[in-house]
Amino acid sequence: MTSPNYRRTRIACFFAYLSMASIFVLPSMLFVTFHEMYGISYTLLGSLVLVNFCTQMTIDLIFTFFSKIFNIRWTVRLMPLLTTVGLLLYAVLPNVMPQNAYLGLVLGTIVFSVAAGLSEVLLSPVIAAIPSEHPEKDMSMLHSLYGWGVVSAVAISSLYFLLFGTENWMYLAVFLSLFPLVSSFLFCISPIPDMNLHAEDDTPKSKANRGKTLFLCVICIFLGSSAENTMTNWISSYMENALLIPKAVGDILGLAVFAFLLAMTRVLYAKYSPNITKTLLVSMIGAAVCYLIAGLSPSVILAFIACILMGVFTSMLWPGTLIFMEEKLPSPGVAAYALMAAFGDMGASVAPQMLGIVVDKVSASAFAQNLSQTSAVAPEEIGLKVGMLIASVFPILGIALVLYLRKAYAEKK
């Protein structure tokens, strides 16, 4: 019997990850616009990120415990359609009911977040199940497509806002909703490989060892996702309101360069495949330093550079943890990928929401008001800088965890 050709399947996975980036980029680029157009507070805007990733986390947990009830092949093929529906709702509802614009944004976010959750749970195990001589390179390349998707979405969005203004953002969302249809079509004409839903354990000792390893990996991906997604979601607003950089410049030279560096670092890892434990350690250290510089440096240029360099240092924290898990837990199963995605989404929801709360609370505090009067620095700018300092906690904890992982799972010579 002829073996199936999975070339189109791999391309479909890559394009799905590429098109998924728009649902993370567009909202973060519009925080200030939503604040001005609809009077939505930064706490509620941070809550949109929370809704996004909590929805994804719910899907992840459902697959962790109930994956056997799903037809995996048809779920993979239909999930991009939900992205399209969610983006259309996101664009239309706030304008149909402007008095309840936030509710419309929430409903659209929930729908496309279901698709994002399914993508995170299923795309990695699909790639892992496709026969390959270098599976770790395929995994890194898959996750690099998210970065290229961010670069593309930022470039398209920035050009659109420059030509048509941010007040017409809804038409851009409709345009971006067309791209997931391509990945759905590709999946429908491509074979989907067989995937193990649950890993097989032979002995109680093996189960205990696998459980410990998986526990450490989910904590690692939580911390790494927190470090990455806090900057991803707030870099545009931080550069505009804290560094006082014009929006178009901040989006193109800030978010786009951040995403470019993130994608390029993942591509380079796929090419050279250095030791993953060392990669995770260097990444956590670099992320912590960049957050501290962004929050403490009085230099706009230095803070700007720190923000975009986060693209390098956070690039491998999510896929790198998956690669580490695959090295230590052969054939982990879809349920393990779902659990990893759940904790990654938890970090991606808790950390950006926390920063939004910090910005609102600090900006309204007497401390910020008094400091603003004596230093001519806006209270919101102070709040954003304090938020960056708080965000450094996640990679700092990650450093300690990776040092433990390096000791506990020392490479055998």
Alpha-carbon distance of 279 to 316, in angstroms, equals 7
Distances (CA, A) of 6 to 129, 196, 347, 359: 10, 17, 33, 47
CA–CA distances in Å: residue 187 to residues 23, 72, 209, 337: 20, 12, 36, 20
pLDDT tens profile 27-58 = 877 877 888 888 888 778 778 877 887 888 88
pLDDT band for 412, please (50, 70, 90 cuts): very low
Q: Is the pLDDT of residue 310 over 90?
A: yes
Higher pLDDT, 66 or 76: 76
Question: b or e along 97-129 (b: 16 or more beta carbons within 10 Å of the residue's beta carbon)?
Answer: eeeebbebbbbbbbbbbbbbbbbbbbbbbbbbb
How far is the C-alpha of 173 from the C-alpha of 183, rounded, in Å?
17
pLDDT value at residue 48: 83
CA distance 228 to 315: 7
Q: By the 8 A CB rule, do 125 and 193 touch?
A: no
For position 3, what pLDDT does the model report?
Answer: 63
Task: Share the mean pLDDT of the chain.
Answer: 84
Q: What is the pLDDT of residue 392?
A: 95
Q: Comparing 284 with 329, which gets the higher pLDDT? A: 284
- Give, as one character, the DSSP assignment of residue 329: S
Return the pLDDT at 413: 37
Closest CA to 351 of 40, 53, 19: 53
pLDDT (mean) for 76-85? 90
Query: Given the structure tokens 């195990």, which residue do they identify?
Result: 125
Q: What is the pLDDT, as a whole number, of residue 198?
A: 55
Give dist(CA 413, CA 115) in Å, integer.
43
* Per-residue pLDDT band at 196 (split at 50, 70, 90): low
Among 123-137, 143-157, 190-204, 339-353, which stretch is predicted with the lowest mean pLDDT?
190-204
Position 394: which residue type? F
- Amino acid letter, 259: A
pLDDT higher than threshold 50 for residue 155: yes
pTM of the model: 0.74
Predicted pLDDT of residue 124: 83
Picking from 4, 185, 5, 176, the residue whose alpha carbon sits closest to that of residue 77 is 185
Residue type, 320: G
Which of the given ranges, 226-235, 346-355, 388-397, has the highest pLDDT on average?
388-397
Residue range 263-285: mean pLDDT, rounded: 89
Q: Is the pLDDT of residue 142 over 60?
A: yes
Angle at Cα 311 formed by Cα 336 and Cα 111, nearest 5°? 50
Q: Which amino acid is at 224?
A: G
Write out the H or E segment, with its range, that includes residue 330. Answer: none
Residues listed for the chain: 413
List of domains in the chain = 8-408 (1.20.1250.20)
